[in-house]
Amino acid sequence: MPITLQENLRGVLYAPFYAALALGAYHREGVEVEFVSAPEPGRAAEGLFSGTVHVAWGGPMRVMQTYDRRTDCDLVCFAEAVTRDPFFLVGREPRPDFTFADLFDKRVATVSEVPTPWLCLQEDLRRAGLDPDALPRITDRTMADNVAALRRGELDVVQVFEPFDEELIASADGHIWYAAATRGPTSYTSFYARRGTLTARRDELKSMVRALYRTQRWLHAQGSEAVADAVQSFFPAVSAEPLRGAVARYLELGIWGRNPILPRSGYERLRAGLISAGFVKQAAPFEQAVDNSLAHEIVREDPPPLH
């Protein structure tokens, strides 16, 4: 039986996962993978409990959220790929000396499609001594809508991921004020599954982790053009140059981990944001929601990068 692997949302930030599919990494490790998409990001975990999905990739945020809402939750993150926050604050005017206090007299729009970007940003504001609840912001429009509004001069700052910021910069309609990756490790995306699946299909999932690690090693050995070209088919609406620029920026910022081990520091930084925003009551501790055993085994094996 093939492993059904589910994405939660289409985005350039997931390039390591798309590259593994495009380069046949799972097939090379002897694993048959069936790739599907979640009906919507907020329902990403449902298939794992219904049995229609074996492994999902998405934020540890979803794992913490599910523990908070389901008493039968046994989800576990077991291989990280996106280890820093891939979102940006982009303003209409340059602001090289940006501080978070600058946002409070601006027209700001934050991400509506998924909660994690705001959960992490509001924690940044708290740590800067500011009250995120006092920030007037538009919360109910898509990133595409907000980008269009920024171009029209209806907004001052938008929160977006690639390739939106790359396209704004290329057209001189936007300037990066803040790259959230610069705060340091924030666990953003990993494989996750139910613990029973991790036990019952451990050999297959170990091979998937090996495939991901070999892809990570390939990705960091390549230039941005090779990586962008490898995942281009997943982004037919994005032309080659913005996609290459987006990949180059993410590589420079260290968005993508060099191995599949999910660090405690990144998990705890994410967990703090979920708790301080009241998104979850407690949030599952690291030991409950993360199992790095497969990742550690694969790193010790030291498999070669894809070629």
32 lies in some domain: yes
Radius of gyration of the chain, Cα coordinates, nearest whole angstrom: 19
* Residue 282 scores a pLDDT above 90: no
**Same domain for 106 and 13?**
no
183, 203, 222 - which closes a domain: 183
Tokens of 156: 């001052």
Tokens of 78: 């077991």
What are the pLDDT digits (tens) for 110-130?
999 999 999 999 999 999 999
**Same domain for 295 and 266?**
yes
Residue that has been written with the tokens 């920030």 in this structure = 135
- Element spanning 12, H or E: none
Task: Report pLDDT for 105.
Answer: 94
Percent of the chain past pLDDT 70, that is, above it, reads 100
306 lies in some domain: no
What's the rounded Cα separation, in Å, for the pair 232 and 15? Answer: 10
Domain count for the chain: 2
**Same domain for 51 and 175?**
no
**Same domain for 121 and 158?**
yes
Q: Which domain holds residue 242?
A: 3-84+185-301
Closest CA to 173 of 182, 164, 181, 186: 164
What's the rounded Cα separation, in Å, for the pair 173 and 243? Answer: 18
200 lies in some domain: yes
**Same domain for 291 and 189?**
yes
Tokens of 300: 């010790």
pTM for the structure as a whole? 0.96
What are the pLDDT digits (tens) for 39-75?
888 888 999 999 999 999 999 999 999 999 999 999 9
165, 183, 201 - which closes a domain: 183
List all residues 6 or more positions away from 248 whose beta carbon is below 8 Å from its beta carbon.
224
What's the rounded Cα separation, in Å, for the pair 39 and 231? Answer: 22
Residue range 238-263: average pLDDT? 97
137, 163, 183 - which closes a domain: 183
Q: How many CB atoms lie within 10 A of CB 41?
A: 16
Task: Report pLDDT for 179.
Answer: 98
Residue range 1-29: average pLDDT? 97
Task: Report pLDDT for 170.
Answer: 93
Average pLDDT, the chain: 97
307 lies in some domain: no
* Residue 258 scores a pLDDT above 90: yes
**Same domain for 179 and 191?**
no
* Residue 1 scores a pLDDT above 90: no
74 lies in some domain: yes
**Same domain for 48 and 127?**
no
55 lies in some domain: yes
* Residue 307 scores a pLDDT above 90: no
- CATH number of domain containing 26: 3.40.190.10
Kindly state the DSSP code that residue 303 receives in the 8-state scheme: P
Task: Report pLDDT for 193.
Answer: 98
- Element spanning 38, H or E: none
